[in-house]
């Protein structure tokens, strides 16, 4: 399931976040790569234990907590602390699959990576190339969103970032362990939740059909969730 999350950060928040990370010291992006990724990855990354990464990462986490759409699409159990990367001219990330288990460096915090998220932090007009290309059940999806918009997709998907040919692509990226492991089950719950919200807005939350469908949603979540 590939879902875009518009306006996760507004323009003012993007500017504040960029002010924090642009002034920081960046390193080779392979500091967090697995063996397969290291063969294909050419970019820079903000060190995950840096003060800038922690401050900017908390801004992203706070924004996630305010987004009902993000919660409905991912049903998060645990979120890996957000990381930040940038691609200059000629830099790219070849086709790969994200590691199944992500471990935070220097801690015992770990997650099963069910869902990957990319939060775009540069406007599309500021760079050429740098598209996130995801291969899912519905074919190849090419994603290049406005700054402050995010996309979530299954971590099991093959994906790559096309070479940047002008400007600089800047983004935050991270992984989630969902309460519902199966992507197909999450899709059913997401579609049902959207339908309940639509009907509720039309008929009112006290309508018997809305109450019944809400019960169906929670009973399915109760059946499938690992919380």
Binding-site residues for Fe cation, please? 96, 98, 159
What are the binding residues for 2-oxoglutarate?
169
Give helix 51-65 / helix 11-22 axis angle, nearest 10°. Answer: 160
140, 52 contact by CB (below 8 A): no
Query: Can you list the pairs that 195-199 forms with residues at least 24 positions away whose Cβ atoms lie under 8 Å?
Result: none
Annotated binding site: 96, 98, 159, 169
Strand-pairing partners, residue 42, are 92
Are the C-beta atoms of 98 and 114 separated by less than 8 Å?
Answer: no
Q: For the chain, where are the alpha helices, taking DSSP H only?
A: 11-22, 35-40, 51-65, 68-74, 183-203, 208-224
Q: Are 88 and 44 in contact (CB under 8 A)?
A: yes
Torsion angle of the four alpha carbons 146, 152, 156, 160, in this order, in degrees rounded to the nearest 10: 0
CA–CA separation, 187 and 189 (whole Å): 5
């Amino acid at each position: 399931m590939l879902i875009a999350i518009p306006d996760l950060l507004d323009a003012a928040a993007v500017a504040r976040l960029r002010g924090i990370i642009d002034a920081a010291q960046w390193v080779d992006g392979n500091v967090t790569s697995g063996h397969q990724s290291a063969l294909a990855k050419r970019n820079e990354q903000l060190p995950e234990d840096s003060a800038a990464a922690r401050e900017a990462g908390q801004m992203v986490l706070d924004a996630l907590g305010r987004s009902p759409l993000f919660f409905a699409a991912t049903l998060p159990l645990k979120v890996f602390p957000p990381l930040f990367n940038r691609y200059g001219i000629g830099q790219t990330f070849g086709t790969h699959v994200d590691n199944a288990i992500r471990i935070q460096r220097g801690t015992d915090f770990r997650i099963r990576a069910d869902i990957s998220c990319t939060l775009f932090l540069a406007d599309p007009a500021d760079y050429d190339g740098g598209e996130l290309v995801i291969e899912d059940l519905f074919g190849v999806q090419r994603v290049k969103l406005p700054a402050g918009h995010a996309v979530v997709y299954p971590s099991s998907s093959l994906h790559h970032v096309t070479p940047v040919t002008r400007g600089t692509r800047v983004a935050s990226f991270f992984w989630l362990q969902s309460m519902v492991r199966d992507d197909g089950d999450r899709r059913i719950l997401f579609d049902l939740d959207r339908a309940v919200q639509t009907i509720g807005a039309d008929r009112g939350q006290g309508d018997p059909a809305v109450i019944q469908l809400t019960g169906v949603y929670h009973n399915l979540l109760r059946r499938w969730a690992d919380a």
